[in-house]
């Protein structure tokens, strides 16, 4: 046997044994968690056809010969989307909620991120407070915030905007702080040596470096918030969600599919636009 | 007059600057030489308090600099500008704004912070900045991003930024260590011009002895945190260098150039 072959085989045996043990542990954990969560394959098998049935029910009964007839005629597209204008308005409201919440959340995240970035934070205490409060804001799901705000401010978009904004602040604040921690600190020394205070040093030495990254993260968050805003209406916090909840619980089958199609179309459209914008910003940032 | 009294800085068990006392009269151009890790950078960074001294005092015209806090400390930093080895410009901002940064702490009035945050500068401030850039032949680059400039140009932008602080002292920390010989000359000429024409005191860390001899009125040599020579350039003969450092001048510069990786941060 070649020199080293024995060592190689020993190392391989060891690696395989480690992989096997890891797989067994993983399998065991999966089984236990399945039992705890009462996952049963029988229920799954019984339920699956019902999902198919539901989708079959919400499908529109379209007829080729009447496809482009008016909204009074059964089987036409116009009949399927007979409330398209109302839903469109609700979708615009949803997008507005997402945009406002992202804007407000990004603005407060920006301020908190400078306090929560180890390299520029004024003190260790402030750093800890900022980090922990960002954690608290993003750990609680936005739907929980929404329930609280609906209770406080009543049903409507305001509750939804505030709920998403707080969650966004927590999520973006952490990302922003990490971008800031990776910034080149030489300009920072340059600013301090010129007699600038901390705020101005953040503005001049750090912000120009990190801005493209921050904008890109904020746009990504906008895409996520758009989906969040379409669901948050389930608890009465405004947007298309309220309508979705209504048609599902009243079993207005065809309307469910009509709204789904509109939601998917508009989310996809905005995603595509925002992705293009993001790519343009990051490319401008790296090439220049 | 800038006075250092027994200034000391320790990093853990290492004493980077060891009881350094020095008096620098106004208008002098002082070259500080020594190997990397000799404590030159730490010494300069203590003078503008980017680095806090472990013990000792800094006095400027009788005022105790070591005790300054807050706005008074920022004012002191404004009046002793610093030039860095890596220029320390904001790469993504244009040259003009980089120079205007020198004005930030010179602005007064209730709205100054707000206008500064919005990057709003007055026509007079821009005129000052453009004049400083013109002095170093950089007006044509005023609207370019700093990162598009060569090292020599960036260092001159840094000097222009320093001038806008209207400083009494300029602390130059290895200003030419990242530059080629031609740009080194241009930058050193600029520093001497600032020293002679504007009467600004210059403290300049260098590892090239000939440069120090050629440009400075006085040379201070450091080794292991202590001052081992202080005198006019003429007194620093090759024989004296060998006596101080135990190696010939060529060997000394060879050693000074090769920076040991672990010491960069501490130096």
* pLDDT surpassing 60 at residue B266: no
Query: Token pair of A82, please?
Result: 């007979």
Q: Note the residue count of chain B.
A: 267
For chain B, the straight-line distance linking the first and the last C-alpha, in angstroms and rounded, comes to 26
| Contact residues on chain B for A193, CB-CB shorter than 8 A | 48, 50, 77, 81-82, 84, 88
Among A184, A190, A200, select the one facing B116 at the smallest CB separation: A200
- How far is B93 from B96, CA to CA, in rounded Å? 8
Size of interface A-B (CB pairs under 8 A): 82
Most confident of A47-56, A86-95, A242-251, B40-49: B40-49
Smallest CA-to-CA distance from A215 within A260, A269, A179 is with A179
Smallest CA-to-CA distance from A204 within B169, B150, B138, B88 is with B88
* pLDDT surpassing 70 at residue B219: yes
Contact in structure between B201 and B2 (CB atoms under 8 Å): yes
Chain B within 8 Å of A122 (Cβ-Cβ)?
Answer: no
* pLDDT surpassing 80 at residue A282: no
Note the pLDDT of residue B247: 81
Q: Do A200 and B113 touch (CB under 8 A)?
A: yes
Q: Do A195 and B165 touch (CB under 8 A)?
A: yes
- The C-alpha angle with vertex B27 and arms to B24 and B31, in degrees rounded to 5, equals 60
Chain B within 8 Å of A193 (Cβ-Cβ)?
Answer: yes
- How far is A281 from A274, CA to CA, in rounded Å? 10
Note the pLDDT of residue B258: 57
User: Could you tell me the pLDDT band of residue B79, with boundaries at 50, 70 and 90?
Assistant: very high
Element holding A78 (H helix, E strand) = helix A77-80
- How far is A34 from A257, CA to CA, in rounded Å? 32
Tell me what percent of the residues of chain A surpass a pLDDT of 90: 50
Q: Do A208 and B93 touch (CB under 8 A)?
A: yes
> Most B CBs within 10 Å: which of A111, A190, A202, A210, as the mutation test of the B interface?
A190
> For A75-122, what is each residue's pLDDT tens digit?
788 778 888 888 889 899 999 999 999 999 999 999 999 999 999 999
Contact in structure between B207 and B35 (CB atoms under 8 Å): yes
Largest CA distance in chain A: 85
Bridge-based pairing of strands B29-33 and B2-11 is unpaired
* Least confident residue range of A3-7, B90-94, B136-140: A3-7
Q: Do A186 and B88 touch (CB under 8 A)?
A: yes
> For A149-183, what is each residue's pLDDT tens digit?
999 998 888 999 999 999 999 999 999 999 999 99
What does the DSSP 8-state code read for residue A180? H
Strand partners, B17: B9
| Contact residues on chain B for A200, CB-CB shorter than 8 A | 104, 113, 116-117
Indicate whether this model's pTM tops 0.90. Answer: no
Note the pLDDT of residue B256: 66
Most confident of A55-64, A245-254, B243-252: A245-254
Contact in structure between B241 and B256 (CB atoms under 8 Å): no
In chain B, the residue whose alpha carbon lies closest to the alpha carbon of A204 is: B90
Tell me what percent of the residues of chain A surpass a pLDDT of 70: 98
Phi and psi at B30, nearest 5°, equal -110, 130
Among A203, A205, A208, select the one facing B117 at the smallest CB separation: A203
Burial, A281: exposed, middle or buried (Cβ in 10 Å; 0-12, 13-18, 19+)? middle
Q: Do A187 and B81 touch (CB under 8 A)?
A: no
Mean pLDDT score, B124-141: 94
Smallest CA-to-CA distance from B164 within B111, B122, B192, B117 is with B122
* pLDDT surpassing 80 at residue A285: no
Q: Do B117 and A200 touch (CB under 8 A)?
A: yes
B250 versus A167: which is more confidently predicted?
A: A167
Note the pLDDT of residue B82: 95
Q: Do B101 and A191 touch (CB under 8 A)?
A: yes
Q: Coil, helix or strand for B171?
A: strand
Bridge-based pairing of strands B55-60 and B2-11 is antiparallel
- Strand segments, DSSP code E, in A121-252 are none
Note the pLDDT of residue B263: 44
Note the pLDDT of residue B267: 37
Domains and CATH numbers, chain A: 2-58 (no CATH), 78-287 (1.10.3720.10)
**How far are the Cα atoms of A23, B5, B87 from residue B31, in angstroms, in the given order?**
66, 19, 19
What does the DSSP 8-state code read for residue B148? G
Q: Note the residue count of chain A.
A: 288
Q: Coil, helix or strand for A151?
A: helix
Beta carbons within 8 Å of A184's beta carbon, 6+ residues apart:
A209, B91
Mean pLDDT score, B199-219: 92
Mean pLDDT score, B224-250: 87
Element holding A257 (H helix, E strand) = helix A253-287
* pLDDT surpassing 70 at residue B227: yes
User: Could you tell me the pLDDT band of residue B264, with boundaries at 50, 70 and 90?
Assistant: very low
Mean pLDDT score, B138-143: 93
Query: Token pair of B56, please?
Result: 């000792």
- How far is B45 from B49, CA to CA, in rounded Å? 6
Query: Token pair of B222, please?
Result: 């450091």
Q: Where are the alpha helices (DSSP H) in chain B?
A: 40-47, 70-79, 95-100, 112-117, 123-135, 151-164, 181-198, 209-215, 238-245, 249-257
Mean pLDDT score, A40-60: 84
- How far is B96 from B88, CA to CA, in rounded Å? 15
* pLDDT surpassing 70 at residue A232: yes
Note the pLDDT of residue A3: 81
> Most B CBs within 10 Å: which of A183, A188, A189, A195, as the mutation test of the B interface?
A195
What does the DSSP 8-state code read for residue A205? I
ipTM of the complex: 0.89
Mean pLDDT score, A115-133: 95
Chain B within 8 Å of A197 (Cβ-Cβ)?
Answer: yes
Contact in structure between B56 and B5 (CB atoms under 8 Å): yes
| Contact residues on chain B for A194, CB-CB shorter than 8 A | 77-78, 81, 101-102, 104-105, 161-162, 165
* pLDDT surpassing 70 at residue B261: no
* pLDDT surpassing 80 at residue B197: yes
State the smallest CA–CA distance between residue A282 and chain B in angstroms: 14
User: Could you tell me the pLDDT band of residue B260, with boundaries at 50, 70 and 90?
Assistant: very low
Mean pLDDT score, B130-134: 95
Query: Token pair of A19, please?
Result: 């992989």
Tell me what percent of the residues of chain B surpass a pLDDT of 90: 75
Note the pLDDT of residue B259: 52
Q: Coil, helix or strand for B173?
A: coil
Tell me what percent of the residues of chain B surpass a pLDDT of 70: 95
- How far is A203 from A191, CA to CA, in rounded Å? 10
Note the pLDDT of residue A84: 82
Average model confidence (pLDDT) for chain A? 89
Beta carbons within 8 Å of A263's beta carbon, 6+ residues apart:
A91, A230, A240, A244
State the smallest CA–CA distance between residue A84 and chain B in angstroms: 44
Query: What is the Rg, in whole angstroms, of the alpha carbon atoms belonging to chain A?
Result: 26
Chain B within 8 Å of A208 (Cβ-Cβ)?
Answer: yes
């Amino acid at each position: 046997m070649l020199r080293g072959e024995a060592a190689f085989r020993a190392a391989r045996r060891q690696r395989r044994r480690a992989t096997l043990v890891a797989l067994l542990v993983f399998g065991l954990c999966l089984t236990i968690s399945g039992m705890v969560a009462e996952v049963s394959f029988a229920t799954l098998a019984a339920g699956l056809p019902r999902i198919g049935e539901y989708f079959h029910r919400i499908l529109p009964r379209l007829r080729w010969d009447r496809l482009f007839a008016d909204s009074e005629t059964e089987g036409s597209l116009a009949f399927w989307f007979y409330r398209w204008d109302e839903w469109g308005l609700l979708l615009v409201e949803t997008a507005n909620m997402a945009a406002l919440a992202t804007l407000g959340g990004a603005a407060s995240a920006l301020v908190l991120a400078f306090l929560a970035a180890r390299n520029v934070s004024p003190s260790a205490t402030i750093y800890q407070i900022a980090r922990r409060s960002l954690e608290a804001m993003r750990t609680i799901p936005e739907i929980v915030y929404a329930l609280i705000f609906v209770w406080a401010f009543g049903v409507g978009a305001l509750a939804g905007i505030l709920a998403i904004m707080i969650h966004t602040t927590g999520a973006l604040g952490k990302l922003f702080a990490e971008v800031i921690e990776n910034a080149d600190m030489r300009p920072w020394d340059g600013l301090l040596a010129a007699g600038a205070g901390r705020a101005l040093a953040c503005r001049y030495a750090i912000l120009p470096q990190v801005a493209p990254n921050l904008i890109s993260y904020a746009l990504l968050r906008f895409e996520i918030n758009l989906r969040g805003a379409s669901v948050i209406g389930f608890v009465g916090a405004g947007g298309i969600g309220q309508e979705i909840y209504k048609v599902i619980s009243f079993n207005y089958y065809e309307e469910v599919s009509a709204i789904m199609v509109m939601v998917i179309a508009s989310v996809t459209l905005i995603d595509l636009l925002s992705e293009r914008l993001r790519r343009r910003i990051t490319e401008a940032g790296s090439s220049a | 007059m800038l006075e250092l009294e027994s200034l000391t800085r320790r990093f853990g068990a290492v004493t980077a600057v060891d009881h350094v006392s020095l008096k620098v009269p106004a208008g002098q151009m002082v070259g500080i030489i020594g190997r990397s890790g000799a404590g030159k950078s730490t010494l300069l960074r203590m003078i503008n308090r980017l680095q806090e001294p472990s013990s000792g005092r800094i006095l400027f015209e009788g005022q105790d600099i070591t005790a300054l806090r807050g706005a008074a400390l920022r004012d002191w930093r404004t009046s002793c500008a610093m030039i860095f080895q890596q220029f320390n410009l904001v790469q993504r901002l244009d040259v003009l704004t980089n120079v205007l940064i020198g004005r930030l702490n010179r602005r007064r009035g209730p709205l100054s912070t707000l206008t500064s945050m919005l990057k709003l500068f007055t026509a007079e401030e821009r005129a000052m900045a453009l004049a400083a850039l013109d002095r170093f032949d950089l007006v044509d680059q005023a609207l370019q991003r700093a990162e598009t400039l060569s090292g020599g140009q960036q260092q001159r932008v840094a000097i222009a930024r320093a001038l806008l602080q209207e400083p009494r002292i300029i602390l130059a920390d290895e200003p030419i260590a990242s530059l080629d010989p031609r740009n080194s000359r241009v930058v050193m000429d600029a520093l001497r011009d600032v020293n002679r024409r504007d009467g600004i005191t210059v403290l300049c860390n260098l590892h090239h002895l000939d440069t120090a001899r050629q440009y400075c009125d006085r040379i201070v040599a450091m080794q292991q945190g202590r001052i081992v020579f202080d005198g006019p350039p003429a007194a620093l003969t090759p024989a004296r260098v060998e006596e101080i450092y135990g190696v010939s001048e060529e060997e000394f510069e060879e050693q000074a150039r090769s920076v040991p990786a672990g010491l960069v941060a501490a130096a």
